Structure 1
């Protein structure tokens, strides 16, 4: 399981929990906003990943490639911070711990 798959599953669970918490009045707007914000972070990471791969195929050691790697690394760290919330989950991979490189 990738960190993106792991976080996507946790966001589905969080959204379902928010929906179930207040079925009559609707889910708390803040809970849904938090889920959406985290989904945008996942989307940003996926976009940075694709951009990085594309750039690496076209440039060797250029500043553009280095910038793409730096951006991807920053997005990855953000995902690791989000995943750390769930470090007691059975599917959590300890290699995702912030500061641990794989």
Structure 2
């Protein structure tokens, strides 16, 4: 499960990053947000970077560590929740209740 979920998340983050790097004008402001506000492209890029680091850490735990697999899998599943309406999202990726 985790390798497919990691690939899915990386693809979604690529899409988020590409969107956030869209045309924002010379001043770096979107037309509807101040820097640091939810949805502002610079904040989205920072969130993408943070999520990539979390995913890399989880992937490392799953590949090389003896402990922490449940937590790493749950973390990945929780990070994927906002994308659950995406056509490539798999129901088995839902986090444990």
Q: TM class, shorter-chain normalised? A: 0.7 to 0.9
Q: Please, which of 45, 53, 57 is the counterpart of residue 58 of structure 2?
A: 45
What's the secondary structure of 1:82's corresponding residue?
helix
Say whether 1:5 aligns with 2:7: yes
Q: How many residues align?
A: 84
TM-score w.r.t. the length of structure 2 is 0.76
RMSD: 2.0
User: Which residue of structure 2 lines up, in the alignment, with residue 97 of structure 1?
Assistant: 94
Gaps in structure 2 of 5+ consecutive residues: 29-39
Q: Which has the larger radius of gyration?
A: 1
1:72 is displaced (CA, Å) by: 1.8
Compute the TM-score of the two structures, normalised by the length of structure 1.
0.73
Assess, with a 3 A threshold, how the Cα gap between structure 1 residues 21 and 77 changes in structure 2: closer, same or farther: farther
- Deviation at residue 95 of structure 1 after TM alignment: 0.2
Please, which of 61, 81, 86 is the counterpart of residue 83 of structure 2?
Answer: 86
User: Which structure carries more helix by proportion?
Assistant: 1
Deviations 1:74-102 (A, max 9, x none): 111011011111111000000011117xx
Give the 4+ runs in structure 1 shifted more than 3 A.
23-27
In the alignment, the residues of structure 2 paired with residue 21 and residue 74 of structure 1 have an alpha-carbon distance, to the nearest angstrom, of 38
2:73 matches 1:76 = yes
Which whole-Å CA distance do the structure 2 matches of 1:43 and 1:15 have between them? 17
